Chain A
Amino acid sequence: MLLEIKDLHASIDGKEILKGINLSIKEGEIHAIMGPNGSGKSTLSAVLTGNPAFEVTHGSVSFKGKDLLELSPEDRSREGMFLSFQYPVEIPGVSMVNFMRTAINEHRKYREESPMSAADFLKFMREKRAIVELDSKLANRSVNEGFSGGEKKRNEIFQMAMLQPKLAILDETDSGLDIDALRIVAQGVNKLRSAENATMVITHYQRLLDYINPDFVHILYDGKIVKTAGPELALELEKKGYDWIKDALI
């Protein structure tokens, strides 16, 4: 098992958002997480990647057999966890190149490998940029600064390509992308897939799942996973919305 979440509870400012999540992900699988606004999808991704703003009050998470909750955000990343942010952060003054070079070399250091040479790094970066067709101009600017919504999302997948994670969590990576960009980004994600890694796709729409075909679809509702099924569940949601789930729960 790559990831095993057991009865996970988390809160922010004393308010409980996650109310007992259970979820297991194996290598090679794709899991889609759907659910109404505010149900806790981004909170789940933040808690898994170690955002210190959230407090885990109960439960456990194991990742590659390790106690994930014990690890710092940077160690989770270096163990192979990656989050494509719903709202990528702008960091003026930090160039994309410098940011990625630092990240790559920190990953290498963690694996006790020597830093990548400047030439190798630039070549590596060029290759990965091609996967999501990220403009070289963007790669030379400050991290996300002044990027359009779509460019930011593309940049997230570019970083994913650079860091080659074991588990990638894509939090609404499709929102803000135009039709062509959606296809390019989704194809990029598919190119990065392998039997060893897994993907958690958070989305509201079937259109992304047309490209990235999930093995499982989960519905997160009010901090709990209330339903899990195959890809047909996403189609059903597209048709019926969430009301029938609500009705079934009350």
Chain B
Amino acid sequence: MMREFVKTYTSLYKEHEDTLNRSSVPLLNQQRSNAMERFDQMGFPDNKREDYRHLDLTAVLEVDYGMNLKRFNIPSNPHDVFRCDVPNLTTKLMFSVNDQFYPNEKPLNLPQGVLCGSLAELSKTHEALLAPYFNQLAEQSLDGLVHFNTAFAQDGFLLYVPENVILDKPLQLIQILQGPEEMLVQRRLLVIMEKGSQAQLLLCDHTLSPNRFLVNQVSELFVADNARLEYYELEMSHAATTRLSHTFASVGASANLSQNGMTLSNGLTRNNIEVHLNGSNSEANLSGLALVENEQFVDNHIWVDHAVPHCVSNQLYKYVLDDQSKGVFSGRILVQQDAQKTAAYQSNRNLCMSKESKMFTKPQLEIYADDVRCSHGSATGQMDETAMFYIRSRGIPEKEARLLMKFAFAADVIDNIHLDPLKDRMRMLVEKRFRGELARCAGCTAAQCS
């Protein structure tokens, strides 16, 4: 079955190779045929693979999706769709629609040398700068989906921050899915943080059309020595959205990467996050919150690679599962032989609100150095009934008591957000979500309005 799907796309590729290249740029085109070969070899991951054991993509791949290979123009102006009624802007706001970056209406007024916007457009003037980075991490992947993206991606989002430049305002990219029919979207992101630079980037996923979407996203994050990147991803899509995301990060000496992924509403989500701590004294803080109900599915697949000594990594992942929803967490920590004095921690906590919900957890520690501090813990449980009674005995109705408990459960992941307006906004969104009051676009201005 999977082989059939691969064939469909390899022949599609052959047929449209010229169109693909014509509507893109050399930086991306150079990688295409190689990527296609790898994709053909590896195919789509089937659930016989250990890392896809709980995720069967057959039904997702069966759909006959359209792809916007000819790069037809985006029908509507996202700035109109996402008008904020409170003019108290706290982020630099940008949009992408499907896999196209939407040109900014106004200049972002970023410090000199910062590149931020369409990967295809910016590569026309900065190809030599970007070539050593683009696809360097993704190319190593053993997951055919990654190469599937590289073979078809025609544009993407680029953030380049030069040495010692500090962006004081957070950047926000709203990634919209919109289209008249079933769509396959190949999103690509490239973030390059030069030595000593700092930035905060918030990505918000929204699906505006009711039809099915398959998003296959590849992000590469390069965080050079002493640089600092806070990378937030917020998904508020719908039941017919499949998000397959692959994030690769390389972190240099004394650098710091924070990644926080929050799934508030979705259909089927797989987040692969692969972090390589390549310079000593670097730190990676990864956290995630998944709130799922109905038939929703969230699968977070984390891999932290400690290649050098004196690095710290933290993983904190929490799931609240209701109805027939399903969650998967797989956290792998690799401590290589040279990585002495590593401190690596992992925690996964899950709250099952219904008997039908399911959670699968798999921690994996591979330690080849002897002087390390590592810990991992995982627990899946139901609502604490003793605490429920205690709260109700003070006059708080059962429904509110449940809400307080769920909110309390999610609190420490939200506390890991360093961006205060986003933290406040997230508290509100999570509460609304638990109350079932989350409007489709409530988060569109996640850090915009206070």
Contacts and interface: CB of A to CB of B under 8 A. Distances in A.
B385 A77 contact: no
A12 interface: no
B405 interface: yes
A49 B395 contact: no
Interface string B125-164: 0000000000000000000000000000000000000000
B392 A93 contact: no
A103 interface: yes
A163 interface: yes
Interface stretch (A84-92, A127-135, A213-221): A84-92
Nearest to B392: A73
B395 A110 contact: yes
A103 B404 CA distance: 11
Nearest to B390: A89
Given A77-B392, A83-B393, A88-B390, A102 B400 contact: yes
Interface string B376-415: 0000000011110111111111101100110111111000
Q: Interface residue tally of chain B, by bracket?
A: 20 to 34
Contacts of B405: 91, 94
Contacts of B390: 85, 88-89, 91
A92 B408 contact: yes
Interface in A136-170: 142, 159, 163
Given A72-B392, A89-B387, A106 B397 contact: yes
A74 B392 contact: yes
A52 interface: yes
Contacts of A190: none
Contacts of B411: 93
B397 A74 contact: yes
Among B396, B409, B412, the one with the most A-chain Cβ atoms within 10 Å of its Cβ is B396
Interface residues of A, number: 32
A124 interface: no
A85 B394 CA distance: 11
Contacts of B408: 91-94, 142
Contact of A91 (B391, B397, B398): B391
A99 B403 CA distance: 12
B385 A103 contact: no
Nearest to A78: B395
B392 A102 contact: no
Nearest to A91: B387
Nearest to A104: B395
B407 A93 contact: yes
A77 B396 CA distance: 8
Among B391, B393, B397, the one with the most A-chain Cβ atoms within 10 Å of its Cβ is B393
A51 interface: yes
A246 to B, nearest CB: 32
A118 interface: no
A234 B386 CA distance: 32
A73 B400 CA distance: 13
B435 to A, nearest CB: 14
Contact of B394 (A51, A72, A142, A163): A163
Interface string A97-135: 011101100110010000000000000000000000000
Given A92-B408, A93-B408, A94-B405, A51 B389 contact: yes
Contact of B396 (A52, A88, A103): A103
Nearest to B408: A93
Interface in A40-74: 49-53, 72-74
A37 B387 CA distance: 24
A106 B407 contact: no
B398 A72 contact: yes
Contacts of A85: 390
Among A49, A91, A98, A103, the one with the most B-chain Cβ atoms within 10 Å of its Cβ is A91
Nearest to B395: A77
Interface in A5-61: 49-53
A102 to B, nearest CB: 5
B394 to A, nearest CB: 4
B395 A107 contact: yes
A128 to B, nearest CB: 14
Contacts of B401: 74
A103 B395 contact: yes
Contacts of B394: 77, 99-100, 103, 159, 163
Among B389, B390, B395, B405, the one with the most A-chain Cβ atoms within 10 Å of its Cβ is B395
B120 to A, nearest CB: 45
Nearest to A100: B394
Contact of A106 (B385, B389, B395, B409): B395
Contacts of A106: 395-397, 400
Interface in B351-394: 384-387, 389-394
Contacts of A49: 393
Contacts of B386: 89
Contacts of A98: 404
A142 B409 CA distance: 12
A53 B386 CA distance: 9
Contacts of A83: 393
B404 A74 contact: no
Interface in B92-106: none
A136 B198 CA distance: 38
A57 to B, nearest CB: 20
A209 B297 CA distance: 58
- By Cβ-Cβ distance, the 9 closest A-B pairs, closest first, are A93-B408, A77-B395, A89-B390, A73-B392, A93-B411, A103-B394, A94-B408, A78-B395, A74-B392
8 contacts: A49-B393, A52-B385, A53-B385, A89-B389, A100-B394, A102-B400, A103-B394, A163-B394
Given A73-B392, A77-B394, A163-B394, 14 more contacts: A49-B393, A50-B393, A52-B389, A74-B392, A74-B401, A83-B393, A89-B390, A91-B390, A91-B404, A92-B408, A94-B404, A100-B394, A106-B397, A159-B394
